[in-house]
Amino acid sequence: MQKEELNNLVTVSDLNHFSEKIISEIHRLADKNKQEFYSPSQFGKIVGMPYTTVVHYCKTRRLKARQDMKGGSWQIYACEIDRLKKEADINYLPQ
């Protein structure tokens, strides 16, 4: 083999390292695009709960939520969707 051909060779190790970098970058971008909070109307549409119930649950601390200022709009943590789904699965009684 000539020197130019040797310079163009790629090893399995090189390919593995490159694929790990690509996968790592994909995960980083996916995490960056995840929504951290939902408005009461967005949350209600996702979980099938009326807006007024969502706001009531925020006020009574049944949902993990925050307000930037007193009387401001509620922001519900995205993790609450998974928590509600788990509770629904636990409380579901098959007939």
Determine the Cα–Cα distance for residues 82 and 20; give it in Å rounded to an integer: 29
pTM higher than 0.85 for the full model? no
The answer to whether residue 15 scores a pLDDT higher than 90 is no
Determine the Cα–Cα distance for residues 47 and 85; give it in Å rounded to an integer: 8
The answer to whether residue 3 scores a pLDDT higher than 70 is no
Lowest-pLDDT choice from 24-28, 65-69, 77-81 = 24-28
Domains of the chain: 37-91 (1.10.1660.10)
